[in-house]
Amino acid sequence: MAGHHRLAVCAAVAVHLCLLLSPSSALRWLSDPKADSTSTTNSHGSFRTAYHFQPTENWQNDPNGPMYYNGKYHFFYQYNPFGATWGNGNLSWGHSVSDDLVNWSALDNAMDPDSSFDINGVWSGSATILPDGTPVFLYTGIDADNNQVQNVAFPKNASDPLLREWVKPSYNPVIPLPDDIVHDNFRDPSTAWRGADGLWRVAVSAKFKTGAGTTLIYKSKDFRSWERNAEPLYESWVAGMVECPDLFPVAEPGAENGLDFASANGAGVRYVLKQSVMETLSDYYVVGRYDDASDNFTPAEDAAGDNDCRTWQRFDYGHVYASKSFYDAGKKRRVLWSWANESDPEPNYIARGWSGVQTVPRKIWLASDGKQLLQWPIEEIESLRKNRVGLLGAEVNAGGMNEIIGVAGAQADVEVVFEIPALEHAENLDTNQLLDPQRLCGEKGASVQGGVGPFGLLVLASSDLQEHTSVFFRVFRHDGKYKVLMCTELRRSTTRADVYKPPYGGFVDIDIEKTRSISLRTLIDHSVVESYGGGGRTVITARAYPEHAQTGGSSHLYMFNNGTGVVKVSKLEAWELKAATVNVAGGGLAMVGSARGGEVY
Ligand code: DQQ
């Protein structure tokens, strides 16, 4: 009760998160004797990321054609070589290569808008590895009449390990605009796959002139002549235009290995269909069955019954879009990329000279319940860890906050496991509140005292705590069961008023009554806060622009608990992360011979 009172008084006077400080001496920190003191300094400005993928400068958006080819990873992306906005140039495909998905070397653009069938833009598409090992691109071109058409491109020299040059045959487009499709809503071919009949299939997003959003299937034997199926793979009258479809098989529930279409066989194989919904700028996926005889996809659960993909699950409840996965034949896993746009005003990023990052590549696999995907940062990210601090058994008292000292908070990786000794204080939740977790996170932010939680991390915090981004859980009771909410709240992330600072939230599908604990991993990278709750069941990526970072202040990291009961911390490990070599001048792979202007290796 005393804690409750002090918080209430505090809330009346404070302008920032109002939590009571408990002495950090309650915690026992273990420093890694191998601690590395090399600099993590980010030399590109305070919001520029140090280990998330970015081109050297300018605008990027969707991930395109990621692939593993002859021992190297290739990443292509929607790129405007002429500036930091999407709209002041016709888009190209940027291109970088990597040995480890962490350190990247920039190459010349793979494709520029230089042909009649893509003169107004080389838009999104995918790579497919043919049975002889050669890669091929299918992509959308905006043609001279501003129609969207689908084109093909091949490597000029498939024995070049860097696949520097790509050839677009003059017979493009291979799939012209159909009569029944809206001219500027026909795009984003998926990775192609081969059915038992030996024909290739590709999924393409479209909007019928009648109004329905759809995903069409085209079939081909040679990647040149394509014929459309009468039945779409997906169609909805309510979800609007869907973009960037991704269809892929997953291994049996709980198995972490990935599958590609060639290795997925048998009636029991489950597939995932992902759609990017233009109206909400969010990605949704569902697990289901795909039959390559009829090219039908049936969601395992279709609660709404009208194919409304907005009712499916989210890869990420934060600020990401247009994700694309690929099968990594090197490590036999499926890896997901997603674009995280800026969320401050355009003049700001024009002034910075760059816009858009990619989330850390994530391994994805089917959870043991068979219903949802689990996501985890690829293990290679751990090669950047240095200066570990660890914590042996601690408690964060009601109203408590403890600083995690010993790591630079602007470039960090934090893993923490919270144990919840008692659940009886959980707040009640009504059915309406269940429907909108984002709104719930806004109403019940970190500063609103709860029963069980909110507890979690404050990251990118200024010394005076005026600025902080909170990542936290809150446990509710609904209908005799417990529900765990995960939030990332940006209201106090910066004192600047011109930034989009929403709350983000999703429920975590765990039985907290049974586990009595929940994990949180947060990757912090200057303007990115990427958090994995419940072992990767719920993921939230947010962009933050703390002013203190611009004025030379350091960023701090805290654990907090603003519930009425104690929360135990059974494990905490935090690392500073070194800067990766991401398309920086002078930092490329030794064998990269030619590169974009100004980046000579
Ligand atoms: N971005 C691309 C389109 C795609 C959209 C254009 C999704 O191909 O539909 O940059 O962000």
Report the pLDDT averaged over residues 220-235. Answer: 97
User: Is the predicted pLDDT of residue 4 greater than 60, yes or no?
Assistant: no
CB-CB neighbours of 150 under 10 Å: 25
User: Is residue 391 very low, low, confident or very high in pLDDT (cuts 50, 70, 90)?
Assistant: confident
Question: Which pLDDT score, from 0 to 100, does residue 7 have?
Answer: 25
Sheet strands side by side (includes 282-291): 242-250, 270-277, 282-291, 296-299
CB-CB neighbours of 146 under 10 Å: 11
Domains annotated for the chain, with CATH where assigned, are 58-359 (2.115.10.20), 387-577 (2.60.120.560)
Question: Which pLDDT score, from 0 to 100, does residue 75 have?
Answer: 98
Tell me the percentage of the chain whose pLDDT exceeds 70: 89
Report the pLDDT averaged over residues 358-364. Answer: 98
Ligand 1 atom 10 nearest Cα: 123
Nearest to 394 by CA among 571, 176, 169: 571
End-to-end CA distance of the chain: 64
More confident residue, 1 or 308: 308
Out of 124, 149, 277, mutate this one to test ligand 1's pocket (max ligand atoms within 8 Å of CB): namely: 124
- Residue the block writes with tokens 């746009």: 341
Assign 593 to helix, strand or coil: coil
Q: Is the CB of residue 471 below 6 angstroms from any atom belonging to ligand 1?
A: no
Out of 76, 78, 118, 282, mutate this one to test ligand 1's pocket (max ligand atoms within 8 Å of CB): namely: 78
Ligand 1 atom at shortest distance from the alpha carbon of 205: 9
CB neighbour list of residue 222: distance below 8 Å, 6 or more residues apart: none
Q: Is the CB of residue 483 below 6 angstroms from any atom belonging to ligand 1?
A: no
User: Is the predicted pLDDT of residue 491 greater than 50, yes or no?
Assistant: yes
Q: pTM score, two decimals?
A: 0.92
* Structure confidence by residue, pLDDT tens digits, 263-318: 887 778 999 999 999 999 999 999 999 999 999 999 987 655 678 999 999 999 99
What's phi and psi for 214, nearest 5 deg? Answer: -150, 165
* Structure confidence by residue, pLDDT tens digits, 151-205: 999 999 999 999 999 999 999 999 999 999 999 999 999 999 999 999 999 999 9
Residue 497 burial (C-beta neighbours within 10 Å; 0-12, 13-18, 19+): exposed
User: Is the predicted pLDDT of residue 125 greater than 50, yes or no?
Assistant: yes
Question: Which pLDDT score, from 0 to 100, does residue 301 have?
Answer: 75
User: Is residue 84 very low, low, confident or very high in pLDDT (cuts 50, 70, 90)?
Assistant: very high
Mean pLDDT of the chain: 89
Report the pLDDT averaged over residues 590-595. Answer: 36
